[in-house]
Amino acid sequence: MTSKVISVYENTQKLGAELAKNLSELANDVLAEGGNAVFKIGLSGGSVVSLLSEYLAKVETDWSKWRFFFCDERLVEFNDPESTFAQYRDKFISNLPISEDQFIKINPQLSVDEAAKDYIQKMSVYFAPYDLPRFDALILGVGPDGHTCSLFPGHKLCEETSVWVAPISDSPKPPPNRITFTFPILNNARYCAFIATGSSKADILKRILKDGEQLPANCVQPVNGSVQWLLDEAAAKLLQEETSL
């Protein structure tokens, strides 16, 4: 059964601090298992990159045992500003004691179909064979149309049930060629954190969290995990019953 929490913060500073605290506690629990344990986290791009860069820098953890995956990624070269990995390389790695080798990256030289297959192969190194991968944490965003990762409303990939990572060559949002986690992966995670800030998110958050529209972001319901929506006051302004932290 999915545990769902909506948390509203006065500002992004409090939101960032809470997110870092949650991830730190979760990572240290995982790493306390000892042995070959690693903390496996899926990342998204956009404004969350700067937020994570700033607030995770204050976390005490064994950073060498973190592995960073991408919930979706654009099939572009790593010197392209559209590359999610490039955003983390430029803003994240310089702030934290981690290396580029800890990121599981796409191969932008491949076709979009082959890039998705290649990413599945790279992922499989970190998970038990033949089991559906269970991420410790996934950091997610939500678009103005309710999409998350590169799972867009009405797109056939929202019905995908067999592959972990799917190619998309007709993304409604450019660039068109991407790879994305599918719902079987999202809904097998231990902890999913949706980050939404700013008044531009208010309408779609009302549609998802208050009106209950069945948009892709609302379909993230881990079978044996939790979902937390971390919002600032501007984003949550149409959710009248929520109280700021």
pLDDT surpassing 70 at residue 216? yes
Q: Is 120 part of a structural domain of the chain?
A: yes
Joined tokens for residue 80: 């392209």
Q: What is the CATH number of the domain that holds 163?
A: 3.40.50.1360
φ, ψ dihedrals at 180, nearest 5°:
-150, 145
Closest to 201 (Cα-Cα) out of 132, 143, 118: 143
Provide the whole-model pTM: 0.96
**pLDDT above 80: residue 20:** yes
pLDDT confidence tier of residue 35, bands split at 50, 70 and 90: confident
Which pLDDT score is estimated for 52? 93
Q: Is residue 85 part of a domain?
A: yes
Residue in 181, 178, 88, 91 with CA at minimum distance from that of residue 133? 181
With b for 16 or more beta-carbon neighbours within 10 A and e for fewer, the 61-100 pattern comes to beeeebbbbbbbbbbbeeeeeebbbbbbeeebbeebebee
| Domain around 200 | 3-180+196-220+227-235
**189 in a structural domain:** no
Output the pLDDT for position 2: 66
